[in-house]
Amino acid sequence: MDTNSFTDLIKQKCLDVGFSKSGIAPVQYYQEDKIHLEKWIDNGYHASMNWMKNNIEKRTNISNYYQDSKSVISVAINYFTGNSTEEYTAPFISNYALGKDYHIIIKSKLKILLEEIQKIDKDIVGYYCVDTSPIMEKAWAQRAGIGWIGKHTNLITREFGSWVFLGELIINKELSYDSPFSTDLCGTCNLCIDECPTDAIVEPYNLDSNKCISYVTIEHKGDFEEKNMIDLNDWIFGCDICQEVCPWNIKFSEFSNEKDFFDRYSLKEKDYKFWENLTEEEFRKIFKNSPVKRTKYSGLKRNISEAKHK
């Protein structure tokens, strides 16, 4: 099978297993990735996420992660299930965390994708990655033509806005490559910057995690420090404000085909009374295989208390 046909087959397989978009880029070293990451870390914008300082050489050079890599197959899957603040009362949980953990879903689909490819070419070796791997996934998605990195630092697609999860399959075979998405379609719009209630987007394309509601409610461990004492604006896990105001999301968002992303326990309808009375046993039941497990019961209760009393 020639390279173009094999590439087309891979892209069809991506759709078959349930991804919404795919694109492919050649493995190369991009010095700008390292410069951008090191500057972001030097500014302290990574907050307590010290793992961002680890494996910088791997994170900014895929060949250091997988020596025989030739191609990065980037995939995106639409996860939109409706805005969290549009029709429901406080408090709020980010859209992405209302259903099953996306890591489980995407890794499962990438595993199937790799197995399908290996049925055609048994010499292919691949590694599949979600955001827990040291990969600059938004940069690679843009190089694969999937979309562009918006001013809020999320990847935006023409078809689904920024309501997409990303994943990568890195393989040891050259393919036909897509053109990078080279146009910044944010234009002069600054709504994500203007509407962020904590000024976490310190400048276009640059986010200070210390001020970000998503970081504070998910990644920060223990009590809030002075630099993290921000108004959570009724968000108890994550935050979608910068995405909800984005014109691309308002115009192009459509409901996901992946039922596992949907709100299994009607969490959008729960009020502060429900969350304040939530027991640890209920937490384990509701958030089994959920991204919310990351903050643990104690972290979620901390968030609930902080959000209500601001």
DSSP per-residue letters across 97-112: GSSS-HHHHHHHHHHH
Evaluate whether residue 257 is within a structural domain.
no
Element (H, E) at 251: helix 247-252
Active-site choice (131, 234, 260, 263): 131
Q: Which domain holds residue 285?
A: 191-245+265-308
Which pLDDT band, with edges at 50, 70 and 90, does 1 fall under?
confident
SS3 277: coil
**Distance, CA of 253 to CA of 81 (rounded, Å):** 9
Least reliable range by pLDDT among 104-118, 215-229, 269-283, 288-302 = 215-229
Indicate if 7 and 51 belong to the same structural domain: yes
Evaluate whether residue 182 is within a structural domain.
no
Total structural domains within the chain: 2
C-alpha pair distances (Å), 287 with each of 142, 267, 283, 305: 32, 11, 6, 19
Task: List phi, psi (to 5°) of 170.
Answer: -100, 125
Pairing of strands 235-237, 92-93: parallel
Q: Is the pLDDT of residue 226 over 90?
A: no
Indicate if 135 and 206 belong to the same structural domain: no
Evaluate whether residue 140 is within a structural domain.
yes
pLDDT digits (tens, 9 = 90+) for 189-202: 999 999 999 999 99
Residue where the block lists tokens 């921000």: 230
**Distance, CA of 201 to CA of 211 (rounded, Å):** 8
- Summary mean pLDDT of the chain: 95
Indicate if 217 and 95 belong to the same structural domain: no
Which pLDDT band, with edges at 50, 70 and 90, does 228 fall under?
low
More confident residue, 224 or 212: 212
Is 131 one of the catalytic residues? yes
What's the confidence (pLDDT) of residue 15?
Answer: 98
pTM of model > 0.85: yes
pLDDT digits (tens, 9 = 90+) for 44-95: 999 999 888 888 999 999 999 999 999 999 999 999 999 888 788 899 999 9
High-pLDDT (> 90) share of the chain, %: 89
C-alpha pair distances (Å), 77 with each of 19, 178, 222: 5, 18, 32
**118: Cα separation from own chain's centroid:** 27
Indicate if 238 and 164 belong to the same structural domain: no
